[in-house]
Amino acid sequence: MSDNSGGVTYYINHHLTHWSIGEGFWTIHADSLIVSILLGSLFCWIFWAASRKATEGVPGGLQNFVEMMIEGMNKLAKETFHGHNPLAAPLALTLFCWIFLMNLMDLVPIDLAPSTMEALGWDYFKILPTVNMNVTFGLSLSVLALIIIYSIKYKGPKGYLHELFFHPFNHWSLAPFNFALNFVELFAKPVSLSLRLFGNLYAAELIFILIATLTLSYGLFEVFTSLGGIFLLIGQIILATIWAIFHILVIPLQAFIFMMLTMVYLSMAAESH
């Protein structure tokens, strides 16, 4: 149910505005930080609780789920990452579960978090961290750092520099051209990762907001007492349900794509040309 104060433009802008602390470059989006940290802590706690209660006998539902996730990510990491690296599987598991939980916040009713926090004294609060480009770029910059670290680790500093300047054309006269190509390719990977995740979730959230505006012109009780309000409310519920069911597929898919491409990029960084 929507609040009609301020009109459609105000409503949309309000739901797309972050709880910000500070100004300019050093602005902190507190809502994204709080939610992402809480969800990351929840992920760690679930797996820690499962390990504490692990038994060699008949496993419970939580242990079954955790073991299935770990075994699946181990298999995926072995198939994707060429060579042995003890960080590959835990990294894949962490990326998938954390991004999945953050994406899952898109299924929370669109007015619940802003209305609740507004009642507590905060004007703005976005519960979906992955519609914040700072969050998606932060994740992708971590992947960029790992790509560089893996390249140096497996090829050595000299080998990595040689690859930057002499691949794909192995001639000294083309070294500047090679470096330009490799530099663009290196930074295109995290940029594409972040924009893909941000764009898909932003579009999904925006559609939820637009669906919520169908009853924006009606008051809380007016929507139930007028024929037009009842029809719009029914249409709103049907559209939101259909979009939520479709979005259930998007949520794990975007987490899987981000995780899978990260594994592919790290595997490419560990290979020598």
Summarize pLDDT for 149-189 with one digit per residue, the tens: 988 988 888 988 888 888 888 877 888 888 999 899 888 99
Half-sphere exposure of 70 (CA within 13 A, CB side): 12
Q: Averaged over 16-22, what is the pLDDT?
A: 87
Domain residue ranges in the chain: 7-269
Catalytic residue (one of 200, 217, 267, 272)? 200
Residue 213 to residues 109, 110, 203: CA-CA distances in angstroms? Answer: 13, 11, 15
- Say which of 4, 196, 217, 226 is annotated catalytic: 196
CA angle 265, 267, 270 (to 5 degrees): 110
Distance CA 217, CA 248 (A): 29
The pLDDT value recorded for residue 117 is: 84
- 2 as an active site residue: the answer is no
User: Angle between the 133-166 and 227-269 helix axes, to the nearest 10 degrees?
Assistant: 30
| CA atoms of 116 and 32, how far apart (whole Å) | 16
DSSP code of 20?
E
The CA-based angle 140-142-148, given to 5 degrees, is 105
Give the pLDDT mean for 95-110: 92
Is pLDDT above 60 for 101? Answer: yes
Would you call 200 a catalytic residue per the annotation?
yes
Amino acid at 42: L
Return mean pLDDT, the chain.
86
- For the question of residue 196 being annotated catalytic, the response is yes
Candidates 20, 41, 51, 192; catalytic one: 192
- Alpha carbon of residue 151 to chain centroid: 25
Nearest to 202 by CA among 128, 262, 259, 256: 128
Q: What are phi and psi of 126, to 5 degrees?
A: -105, 120
pLDDT at 216 over 80: no
- Give the 3-state secondary structure of residue 245: helix
